[in-house]
Amino acid sequence: MYNITPSLDILVHSPVWVICNFSISTNCSYIKIKMQYLFQGTAEEIRLTVANADLALEKGDVDSALNILRTIGPEQPYFIQAREKMAKIYLNHRKDKRMYAQCYR
């Protein structure tokens, strides 16, 4: 096992997708799980969710990225960033202008 004890500083300055740029490795999965546990119930937990969507998108899994972003509700921090990211995915990956516009309503 690895001794991973990230601080808030890691999340602020190094998004999870940078830390886990070697996302094929099992180390990344461990780091993601550990970080989700450490930041559970904080605003940064939502930031991890957005970062997980980035990882899915990097792997080419557009459906998973969109599903992850849909879990972020309007009452949560980073909602606007999640909607903007969804809009970009619909426009650039799906070429769906209607869903792109829907993200901004």
Would you call 78 helix, strand, or coil by DSSP? coil
Q: How far apart are CA 6 and CA 83, in angstroms?
A: 27
pLDDT digits (tens, 9 = 90+) for 68-85: 999 999 999 899 999 999
Overall residue count recorded for the chain in this entry: 105
For CA atoms 55, 59, 64, 65, the dihedral sign is positive
- Show me where the domains of the chain are located: 8-102
What the block records as the tokens of 90 is 């619909």
pLDDT digits (tens, 9 = 90+) for 5-44: 444 444 444 455 444 554 445 566 777 778 888 888 887 8
